[in-house]
Amino acid sequence: MTNTSQTPETTQTPETTMRAVRFESFGGPSVLTVAEAPIPEAQPGRVTVDVEYAGVNFAEVMFRRGQFPVDLPHFPGLEAVGRVRAVGAGVTGFAPGDRVAALTLGGGGNAEVVEVGAEHTVRLDGELAELDGALAAGALCNVTTALGLLTSAGHLAEGETVVVLAAAGGVGTAAAQLARSLGATTVIGVTSTPAKAEYARGFGYDSVVSYEEIEREVAERTGGVGADLVLDSVGGAFRSSVTALLAAFGRHVIFGNAAAEDVTFEGNHPWYTNSSLVGYNLGGVAGRAPALLRAHLERALTEVAKGGVRVDVKTLPLKDVVHAHELLETRASTGKYVLDVRA
Ligand SMILES: NC(=O)c1ccc[n+]([C@@H]2O[C@H](COP(=O)([O-])OP(=O)(O)OC[C@H]3O[C@@H](n4cnc5c(N)ncnc54)[C@H](OP(=O)(O)O)[C@@H]3O)[C@@H](O)[C@H]2O)c1
């Protein structure tokens, strides 16, 4: 942060600017810059956080390339961990200095200070007191999403079979572990390369195969019955073939479009195929079911704190945000990338 004071050392002028990641036009990773920006003030019902760690998500890749409507300039970053800097009017339960983890769903988390709704901010105390900051930042979006996908969207039941596309990624690795702990009998992952498949196997999948192999793998593992749940963040042409993986009354959970290419389903599709199309959108849950989102957020952090979900975090300095985006966008990433905002 920059101290703009021109006065003698005895008078301390409050800091007014900070370093923040931003982009002013849509495009490739190079549109991202780390630049000075005004430090936000805590508005009513909200807090500001001095950020220590901030996660990088595929959603931010989509925002950056203009695949999802965001205003420009945009300050990316959907999750942050640090200490409360200031508390807005009407906020109770938080004080400056509290260690917190926050879903910064309006963006701005990839910065030295972020302003966030108190309802999306969790104090890292009690059973969360020992939770590592980078780990918490890596868990906020992905583990909360994985929980929502499997429970509220997917209605996973004991003994079911789950297929996870993009199995080696942030959400995928969390979903595999949670599916198992929520009672799935068979969890099958799908990745684009053998190296990613090998990596993903460390997260408890029964098997991890390629997109070309998945139909045969599901048939073999389920005796031709099909999978109960397919978690699909990939989109593209593959989305049309997901129905072929499903058991009768199977659920195709759609929560992303990494391929940046959509497909069309007819209204009669669920009828003809005895299947459900169901969606999950973290921002939408925040708006329409905030108590549910809060419950999932707290449960996600607790699972990670007690070791029930392993998050494989790779920590990079803030300036390497471009590299993190490149890795995600080129399908070269595994696990989760977290920015150390102080580095
Ligand atoms: N709806 C929500 O609320 C919500 C919340 C969080 C995340 N998401 C979505 O969930 C997905 C996972 O997020 P994440 O941050 O954990 O990312 P991630 O899974 O770590 O990375 C994205 C993965 O998508 C796969 N992919 C398939 N086609 C791709 C393409 N054409 N270009 C790039 N990647 C492609 C790649 O895995 P393979 O190479 O193995 O296929 C890639 O590693 C993302 O699509 C994200 O948008 C949605």
Q: For 91-123, what is each residue's pLDDT tens digit? A: 999 999 999 999 999 999 999 999 999 999 999
Name the residue of 57, 103, 105, 242 to mutate for ligand 1: max ligand atoms within 8 A of Cβ. 57
- Give dist(CA 52, CA 82) in Å, integer: 5
259 lines ligand 1 (CB under 6 A): yes
- Asked if 17-140+284-340 and 154-280 have one fold, the answer is no
204-228: buried (b, 16+ CB within 10 Å) or exposed (e) per residue?
Answer: bbbbbbeeeebeebbeebbeeebbb
- Please tell me the predicted confidence (pLDDT) of residue 4: 46
Q: What are phi and psi of 193, to 5 degrees?
A: -135, 155
Name the residue of 56, 57, 58, 105 to mutate for ligand 1: max ligand atoms within 8 A of Cβ. 58
Torsion angle (degrees, nearest 10) of CA 328, 133, 306, 151:
-50
Least Cα distance to 336 among 319, 317, 315 occurs for: 315
Q: Average pLDDT of 269-287?
A: 97
CATH of domain 154-280: 3.40.50.720
144 lines ligand 1 (CB under 6 A): no
Q: Average pLDDT of 144-164?
A: 98
5 pLDDT higher than 50:
no
Percent of the chain with pLDDT over 90: 95
Residue 259 alpha carbon, nearest atom of ligand 1:
31
Q: Which two tokens stand for residue 205?
A: 């999948």
Q: Average pLDDT of 160-185?
A: 98
173 lines ligand 1 (CB under 6 A): no
6 pLDDT higher than 90:
no
199 lines ligand 1 (CB under 6 A): no
C-alpha 292 – ligand 1 centre gap (Å): 23
C-alpha 225 – ligand 1 centre gap (Å): 27
C-alpha 212 – ligand 1 centre gap (Å): 18
Q: Average pLDDT of 221-236?
A: 98
Q: Average pLDDT of 288-317?
A: 98
C-alpha 131 – ligand 1 centre gap (Å): 25
205 pLDDT higher than 90:
yes
The pLDDT confidence band at residue 15, using thresholds 50, 70 and 90, is confident
Q: Average pLDDT of 135-159?
A: 98
Cβ 103 vs Cβ 78: under 8 Å: yes
Domain ranges within the chain, ordered by starting residue = 17-140+284-340, 154-280
81 lines ligand 1 (CB under 6 A): no
Residue 190 alpha carbon, nearest atom of ligand 1:
40
Tens digit of each residue's pLDDT (9 = 90 or more) over 82-93: 999 999 999 999
Tens digit of each residue's pLDDT (9 = 90 or more) over 26-48: 999 999 999 999 999 999 999 99
Cβ 22 vs Cβ 64: under 8 Å: no
- Please tell me the predicted confidence (pLDDT) of residue 234: 97
Tell me yes or no: is domain 17-140+284-340 CATH 3.30.1330.40.
no
Residue 211 alpha carbon, nearest atom of ligand 1:
41
Percent of the chain with pLDDT over 70: 97
Name the residue of 67, 233, 309, 328 to mutate for ligand 1: max ligand atoms within 8 A of Cβ. 233
- Give dist(CA 123, CA 298) in Å, integer: 10
CA atoms within 13 A on the CB side of 54: 30
Residue nearest to atom 20 of ligand 1 (CA): 169
- Please tell me the predicted confidence (pLDDT) of residue 127: 97
125 pLDDT higher than 70:
yes
- Please tell me the predicted confidence (pLDDT) of residue 259: 96
